[in-house]
Amino acid sequence: MSVNFQQGYPRILFFSSSYCTPCKPVEEMLKRINISMFGKKLYIEKIDVEKNYQLTKEYKITSLPTVIVAGRRLSLNIQEEDIIDAILYGFISSVKI
C-alpha cells in the first residue's frame, strides 16, 4: 500500500462510528498529537463506517477503532506511541535515497 500524503504529511484514515465507545479516546489522541507535535498540519480523515460502507469494505475494516497511516493498520488498544511511530514511519518511508 502506498503512503498517501496531504500537503507533505502522511494522510491518516480514522474509522469509527457513533456507537463505538473506544473510538472517542482515540479521536482525542489523534487531535492531541496533531496539535502538540505537528501544528495541526496532519490530515485526519474520520470515516464513519455506517455511512461509508464502500471505504469500510475496501479497507477491510473488521474492528473499531481502526487507524491507517502510511500503510500501517492500528486496531484495538491503540496507544499514542503507536500512532506517532506510524506517522514517523510515513515520513521516513517517503524519503528516496
Residue 34 belongs to a domain with what CATH number?
3.40.30.10
Q: What's the pLDDT tens digit per position in 43-71?
A: 999 999 999 999 999 999 999 999 999 88
Report the pLDDT averaged over residues 11-34.
96
Strands 9-16 and 66-69: antiparallel
List beta partners, residue 15: 47, 66
Model pLDDT, residue 10: 78
pTM equals 0.87
Looking at the structure of the chain, the number of domains it has is: 1
Which domain covers residue 47, as residue numbers?
Answer: 5-94
d(CA 93, CA 82): 16
Strands (E), 1-97: 5-6, 9-16, 43-48, 66-69, 72-75
